[in-house]
């Protein structure tokens, strides 16, 4: 694993829990017969291309203000936005994961805790089991920087400026659902599999976002060589 990959995963593992955000429900997933054990070549190519574009993006002062819902000027916004953007990136992925699994789309604003074996065993439904297993971070719901109201404008900004983020989540999770369904995996094992695939797709997306963060204050530098990890989904 590259040093940047390690830093990004360490940062992200510290950062997430859940929020109140909407995703578009998926009416039905059409599975390709070509899907076997790994994501399709077209998806891998799409992810590789889009994460590089995102990593090279620059945010203007106006962008910084828009991310906050225009409640802060850009100077103050630059302190808050790294937290709100990374959290927004997480929540977009979780709403897509919930959508693919056919679960309620609203991600609560609360601090999660690691479930015990007894709590998992006592879960009477798949939804209860998922809620116990849903990824979280120590920052979420108990952040020193974020309030729940900071998330919606940040998510709105990402959906407008970088729509490929949601598309990458959705395409990968849809393909993953097709693969696991072909294997006949259901119930809790399917939930575990899909959460693992959520982490697989968030890895390249998070590195792309960190490409923006590392140079948020100065976009004069050419970052052609910054994003050096390619084809995450094949590894």
CA distances from 164 to 57, 89, 161, 186, 193 (A): 13, 11, 9, 29, 23
Where along the chain do its domains lie? 3-21+40-234
Can you give the pLDDT at residue 29? 57
Q: What is the pTM for the complete model shown?
A: 0.80
Radius of gyration of the chain (CA): 18
Q: Which of 132-136, 199-203, 220-224, 228-232 has the highest mean pLDDT?
A: 199-203
Buried b (16+ CB within 10 A) or exposed e, 90-128: bbbbbbbbbbbbebebebebeebeebeeeeeeebeebee
pLDDT-based confidence at 32, cuts 50/70/90? low
Q: Which of 49-53, 55-59, 154-158 has the highest mean pLDDT?
A: 154-158
Residue bearing tokens 């100077």: 75
If you average pLDDT over every residue of the chain, what do you get? 79
Structure tokens at 142: 């108990």
Can you give the pLDDT at residue 185? 82
DSSP letter assigned to residue 70: S
């Amino acid at each position: 694993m590259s040093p940047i990959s390690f830093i990004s995963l360490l940062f992200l593992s510290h950062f997430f829990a859940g929020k109140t955000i909407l995703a578009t429900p998926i009416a039905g997933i059409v599975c390709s017969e070509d899907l076997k054990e790994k994501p399709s070549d077209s998806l891998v190519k799409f992810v590789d291309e889009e994460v590089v574009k995102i990593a090279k993006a620059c945010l203007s002062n106006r962008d910084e203000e828009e991310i906050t819902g225009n409640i802060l000027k850009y100077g103050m916004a630059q302190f808050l936005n790294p937290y709100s953007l990374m959290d927004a990136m997480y929540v977009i992925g979780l709403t897509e994961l919930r959508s693919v699994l056919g679960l309620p789309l609203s991600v609560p604003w609360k601090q999660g805790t690691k479930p015990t074996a007894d709590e998992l065993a006592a879960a009477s439904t798949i939804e209860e089991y998922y809620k116990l297993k849903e990824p979280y971070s120590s920052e979420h719901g108990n952040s020193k920087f974020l309030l729940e109201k900071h998330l919606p404008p940040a998510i709105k900004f990402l959906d407008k400026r970088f729509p490929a983020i949601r598309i990458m989540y959705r395409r990968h999770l849809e393909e993953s659902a097709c693969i696991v369904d072909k294997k006949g995996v259901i119930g809790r094992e399917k939930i575990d599999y899909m959460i693992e695939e959520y982490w697989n797709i968030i890895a390249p997306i998070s590195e792309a976002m960190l490409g923006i963060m590392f140079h948020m204050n100065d976009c004069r530098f050419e970052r052609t060589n910054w994003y050096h990890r390619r084809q995450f989904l094949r590894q």
